[in-house]
């Protein structure tokens, strides 16, 4: 399970950085994988407000870190943490640029009516701190964070916020931070760690295993941790597969292929389901394995892809029923 944290302060070793690091260490101690994105270190072009994403579902800026790295991470992550200092009652400009660019995901959801399969179980959490003591200090960032989480398909699960934190080192001196963080992390991620872990695998991880994992996430992602991978992953997922999943309203945008070995070592699955690529299908000794023996629809007419999609949906529904009772 990936926990993605956005560190919003341009001060590299400041209070926000400390707070987020404590949070991520607590998550790792429970067995989660973590990744921190330093917003100020990334090349993120601010949103141009051009409306391109509302029609096409992708951003017109194609070669910055938002498109190349952050959209895919936002789709892979199951928990998103926004960590920020207060700058004029809101977030620093570099983090705001990142948040504004999530308009592309907002457009996919609200304009193109596509459902990200993880939308109903992905969780969002806010960490904030600022120098002053005012009652309304966090109102601005809370509103911004809630709207951001909604756009990226994460349910807002609360916040930790600290007043009267100003100089570097102030956060470290705060007496309650470790207990606060531990309690919040336990509540936030423990339910997701208890899920049954299923790895869907085929050779290229471009079509069948992608559809299977997406249906499993869509239908039961709160109870099954579904991941997919391939023994020889293709460079990209299959565009016809993306099309036929969109016909069902399921958003496969920004998903990537991944290596089987890495997925096995990170996920440590309870079960592996292969798609039926004959000799090329991965076999992992000692692991519960099921083979679905599905035909490879890559390069065939769209109707073949549709039939395989429907077959996979049926099989995932039956799997969910038998796994969860």
Ligand X SMILES: Cc1cc2nc3c(=O)[nH]c(=O)nc-3n(C[C@H](O)[C@H](O)[C@H](O)COP(=O)(O)O)c2cc1C
Rule CB under 6 A: which residues touch ligand X?
9, 11, 14-16, 85-89, 129-132, 137, 165-166, 168
66 alpha-carbon distance from chain centroid: 14
| Cβ proximity to ligand X, 48 vs 168, nearer residue | 168
Cβ 184 to ligand X, closest distance in Å? 18
Taking the complex as a whole, the smallest distance from the CB of residue 144 to ligand X amounts, in Å, to: 13
Q: Please, what is the minimum distance in Å from the beta carbon of residue 227 to ligand X?
A: 33
CB nearer to ligand X: give 92 or 230.
Answer: 92
Contact 255, 210 (CB under 8 A): yes
Closest residue by beta carbon to ligand X: 14
From CA 82, how far away is CA 62, in angstroms rounded?
A: 24
Task: Output the smallest distance, CB 197 to ligand X, in A.
Answer: 35
What is the smallest separation between the CB atom of 87 and ligand X, expressed in angstroms?
Answer: 4
Of 7 and 209, nearer to ligand X (C-beta) is: 7
Of residues 132 and 190, the one with the C-beta less far from ligand X:
132
DSSP annotation of 47 reads P
The edge-to-edge listing of strands for the beta sheet with 123-129 is 33-38, 2-7, 79-85, 123-129, 155-162
User: In sequence order, which ranges of the chain are alpha helices (DSSP H)?
Assistant: 15-29, 52-56, 65, 71-76, 93-101, 103-110, 139-152, 170-173, 177-193, 208-220, 239-247, 260-267, 302-324
The gap between the terminal CA atoms of the chain, to the nearest Å, is 24
**Minimum distance, C-beta of residue 91 to ligand X, in the bound complex (Å):** 10
Phi, psi of 37 (to 5 degrees): -110, 120
Residue closer to ligand X by CB (options 144, 209) is 144
CB nearer to ligand X: give 21 or 257. Answer: 21
Residues 6+ away with beta carbon under 8 Å from 179: none
3 state SS of 90: strand
Distances 50 to 53, 93, 170, 290 between C-alpha atoms, Å: 8, 20, 41, 48
Q: What are phi and psi of 302, to 5 degrees?
A: -55, -35
Closest to ligand X by CB, 52 or 89: 89
Pick 83 or 308: Cβ nearer ligand X: 83
- State in angstroms the smallest separation of the CB of 98 from ligand X: 16
Tokens of 305: 């892809």
Token pair belonging to 114: 């596509």
CB of 88 to ligand X, least distance (A): 5
Cβ(237)–Cβ(206) below 8 Å: yes
């Amino acid at each position: 399970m990936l926990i993605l944290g956005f560190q919003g302060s341009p001060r590299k070793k400041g209070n926000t950085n400390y707070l987020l690091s404590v949070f991520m260490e607590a998550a790792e101690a429970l067995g989660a994988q973590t990744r921190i994105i330093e917003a100020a270190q990334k090349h993120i072009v601010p949103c141009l407000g051009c409306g391109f994403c509302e029609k096409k579902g992708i951003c017109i800026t194609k070669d910055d870190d938002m498109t190349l790295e952050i959209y895919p991470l936002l789709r892979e992550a199951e928990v998103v943490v926004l960590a920020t200092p207060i700058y004029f009652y809101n977030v620093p400009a570099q983090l705001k640029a990142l948040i504004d660019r999530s308009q592309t995901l907002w457009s996919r959801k609200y304009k193109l009516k596509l459902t990200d399969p993880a939308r109903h179980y992905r969780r969002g959490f806010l960490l904030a701190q600022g120098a002053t003591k005012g009652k309304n200090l966090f109102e601005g960032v809370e509103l911004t964070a809630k709207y951001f989480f909604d756009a990226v398909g994460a349910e807002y699960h609360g916040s930790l916020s600290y007043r009267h934190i100003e100089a570097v080192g102030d956060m470290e001196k705060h007496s309650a931070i470790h207990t606060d963080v531990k309690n919040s992390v336990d509540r936030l991620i423990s339910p997701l760690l208890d899920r049954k872990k299923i790895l869907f695998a085929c050779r290229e991880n471009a079509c069948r295993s992608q559809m299977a994992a997406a249906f499993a996430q869509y239908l039961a992602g709160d109870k099954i941790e579904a991941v997919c991978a391939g023994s020889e992953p293709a460079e990209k997922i299959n565009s016809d597969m993306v099309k036929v999943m969109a016909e069902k309203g399921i958003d496969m945008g920004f998903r990537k292929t991944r290596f089987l070995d890495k997925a096995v070592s990170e996920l440590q699955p309870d079960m592996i389901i292969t798609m039926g690529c004959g000799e090329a299908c991965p076999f992992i000794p000692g692991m519960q394995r099921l083979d679905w023996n599905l035909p490879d629809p890559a390069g065939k007419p769209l109707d073949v892809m549709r039939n395989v999609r429907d077959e996979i949906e049926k099989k995932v529904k039956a799997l969910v029923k038998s796994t969860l009772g």
